[in-house]
Structure 1
Amino acid sequence: MIKDGDFIAIFNSIHRVMEAERLLKDQGLKILLIPAPRSLAADCGLAIRYAEDVRPQVEAVLSGAGLLPRDLYRKNGDNFEKIGEEK
């Protein structure tokens, strides 16, 4: 379900993730509402998955709507790398 390189957006509430899904689908963007991976903490249990090729559009829509995710991860092999986290 989640391929290497996919992005996983985690939100603070079910309301926010559902609103984000609606906005993104209304824009025709290829995203998928998925159960949040167990290794990632998610208050609402759901997350949005999207690929690298739509990342700029997805994040622009979310930013414009004030719906940026609480956390953003990228799948890398068996792990999820947190985006924006200092190494």
Structure 2
Amino acid sequence: MVNEGDYVVIFNSIHRVMEAEKLLKERRLSILLIPAPRALAADCGLAIRYGEEVRQEVEEVLTQAGLMPRESFRKQGEAFIKIEGE
């Protein structure tokens, strides 16, 4: 479900994740709404997955809409590495 190098973002509520999904899909970005991986604690149980090729655009759209995720991770091997503010 989550491939090596994919990004996974989790939000504070189901409302926010659904709003983010709608906005990103309207922009025709290659994202997928997925069940939050067990290794990640997500209040709403859902997450958005996307690849490196759309990362910048996804994050710009979310920032402009005021929908920044609670936490962001990148899949590396069997682990999810937390992305700290860059």
> TM exceeds 0.5?
yes
| Aligned residue number for residue 30 of structure 1 | 30
Runs of 4+ residues over 3 Å off in structure 1: none
Q: Residue 47 in 1 paired to residue 50 in 2?
A: no
For 2:28 and 2:10, locate their aligned partners in 1 and report how far apart those are by CA, in whole Å. Answer: 20
Once residues 84 and 44 of structure 1 are traced to their aligned partners in structure 2, the CA distance between those partners, rounded to angstroms, is 21
- 1:7 corresponding residue in structure 2: 7
Tell me the equivalent position of 1:81: 81
Shift in Å, 1:19: 0.1
How many residue pairs align between the two structures? 85
In 1, distance between residues paired with 2:83 and 2:39? Answer: 15
Q: CA deviation at 1:65?
A: 0.2
Percent identity over the alignment?
66
CA RMSD of aligned residues (A): 0.8
Q: TM-score, normalised by structure 1?
A: 0.96
- 1:33 is paired with a residue whose SS is strand
Deviations 1:12-53 (A, max 9, x none): 000000000000000000000000001100000000000000
